[in-house]
Amino acid sequence: MVLVTGGAGYIGSHTCVALAAAGLQAIVLDNFSNSRRSVLDRVGAITGAAPVLLQGDVRDPACLSQVFAEHPIRAVIHFAALKAVGESVREPLRYYDNNVAGTVTLLRAMQAAGVRTLVFSSSATVYGEPATLPIREDFPLSATNPYGWTKLMMEQVLADVDAAEPDAWRIARLRYFNPVGAHESGLIGEDPQDIPNNLLPYVAQVAAGQRDCLSVYGDDYATADGTGVRDYIHVCDLADGHVAALRYLQAHPGVLTVNLGTGRPVSVLEMVSAFERASGRPVPYRIVPRRPGDVAQCWADPALAERLLGWKARHGVDRMCQDAWRWQDGVARSLG
Ligand code: NAD
Ligand code: WQD
């Protein structure tokens, strides 16, 4: 059984589907601070059986020890975290507490229960502004905001835990690039509770008529069309990467650190065009000043993940946008 913290969230719910497809049973622990309980019913509608669902917080040691005592957990995939960059600047203590303290509490509970296999959600944000592209795992690391610092700190905690008990732990630090899209069923997807911070959910809401116009943050970057360039990865490819990492860890103790990206750079305006094609709807936009803290370009060298895990992203931006639109269209309809 695999414990999935934050399994009701965006990436977690898609990973529950991937685990089921791989014949692995998931048990989800989520405090629903950024998700809804009903997501797991929709995961069940896709897979045939909803994962076991426990409401609880990774910062609660009593809750964790009960979870490990009552269920035959062999490995943990740890998604539970707060992830809004701007909010982390305004409320740093909340982020350090939820993300860093939460991870330490989880690791203590794992150690006590003798469970030492962990797949951890890291982020390309740990590379800061890269000096060259594409980004390899051995590039220098830095952070420009508290959210990024929590990821860097947690990566360090994991390295230290491994160093203290060599060959005991099996840890994957997966550095995600920009996850987008949704499951092809249209039943699960990204469900921002507020005004979306990220590009694709915002574009999708503009296409659906829920918002008037996209603000494009700067067209004066040193990129082909002047807008920011990212490595967007289909969330189902990303989810499969977790199953591949679990398989790898079965045979390899120690710490694995890999990028999960496509290796394909895409600009904001290219993404807008792809979404217009996929949805058949216009996405009006206006150029506004750069967003503070944004890097100009960020894309992965995904070769290490392919070599070590045998994993490679399969879907391109058109498919990402088609699946995001199917989900968005369903959400928009259900809202009337
Ligand atoms: P999400 O907010 O949709 O999912 C996170 C889930 O964790 C939510 O269901 C939330 O309710 C839960 N949660 C948060 N704090 C918790 C706690 N203390 N105890 C129990 N549950 C808790 O976010 P996501 O996009 O699915 O991201 C998952 C992970 O991937 C996070 O660690 C995030 O930092 C990381 N990540 C996300 C992105 C991205 O762009 N979405 C990129 C890189 C890394
Ligand atoms: C993508 C591009 C924007 C919104 C963030 C976090 C990162 C990671 C993923 C978790 C950029 C542009 C965006 C909009 C725009 N999260 N944009 N108008 O900034 O690469 O990464 O989310 O780890 O830590 O920083 O993703 O989707 O916000 O932006 O023009 O309304 O779209 O400037 O070029 P980003 P994003």
Residue 279 alpha carbon to ligand 2 centre in Å = 21
- Amino acid (one-letter) located at 32: F
Residue 236 alpha carbon to ligand 2 centre in Å = 19
Please report the pLDDT score of residue 331 as a whole number. Answer: 82
Q: 199 CB less than 6 Å from ligand 2? A: yes
Domain boundaries 2-181+233-262, CATH class: alpha beta
Q: 85 CB less than 6 Å from ligand 2? A: yes
Q: 103 CB less than 6 Å from ligand 1? A: no
Query: Which one of 10, 95, 96, 147 is the catalytic residue?
Result: 147
Residue 14 alpha carbon to ligand 1 centre in Å = 12
Q: 198 CB less than 6 Å from ligand 2? A: yes
Residue in 53, 83, 235 to alter for ligand 1 test, most ligand atoms within 8 A of Cβ:
83
Assign residue 334 a region (left: φ > 0; alpha: ψ between -120 and 50; beta: otherwise).
alpha
Which pTM value belongs to this model?
Answer: 0.98
Domain boundaries, the chain: 2-181+233-262
CA distance 256 to 253: 9
Which ligand lies nearest to the CA atom of residue 238 in the structure? Answer: 1
Is residue 147 annotated as a catalytic residue, yes or no?
A: yes
Residue 291 alpha carbon to ligand 2 centre in Å = 9
- Amino acid (one-letter) located at 95: Y
Contact 41, 90 (CB under 8 A): no
Contact 111, 65 (CB under 8 A): no
Label the pairing between strands 229-230 and 266-267.
antiparallel
Question: What residues pair up with 180 in beta bridges, in sequence order?
Answer: 234
CA distance 57 to 29: 7
- Residue with the smallest CA separation from ligand 1 atom 17 is 57
Please report the pLDDT score of residue 335 as a whole number. Answer: 62
Residues 6+ apart with CB under 8 A from 214: 202, 203, 206, 272, 283, 284, 285, 286
Residue 284 alpha carbon to ligand 2 centre in Å = 18
CA distance 197 to 194: 9
CA distance 4 to 243: 12
Q: How many CA atoms lie within 13 A of 261 on its CB side?
A: 30
Closest ligand 1 atom number to CA of residue 176: 43
Which backbone phi and psi does 193 adopt, to 5 degrees?
Answer: -80, -20
- Amino acid (one-letter) located at 195: I
Closest ligand 2 atom number to CA of residue 197: 28
Q: What is the mean pLDDT of each run of 10 residues along the chain (336 residues)?
A: 98 98 98 96 97 98 98 98 96 98 98 98 97 97 96 98 97 98 97 92 97 98 98 99 98 98 98 98 98 96 98 98 96 70
As a whole number of Å, the end-to-end CA separation of the chain is: 39
**Buried b vs exposed e over 145-154: b needs ≥16 C-beta within 10 Å?**
bbbbbbbbbb
Q: 121 CB less than 6 Å from ligand 1? A: yes
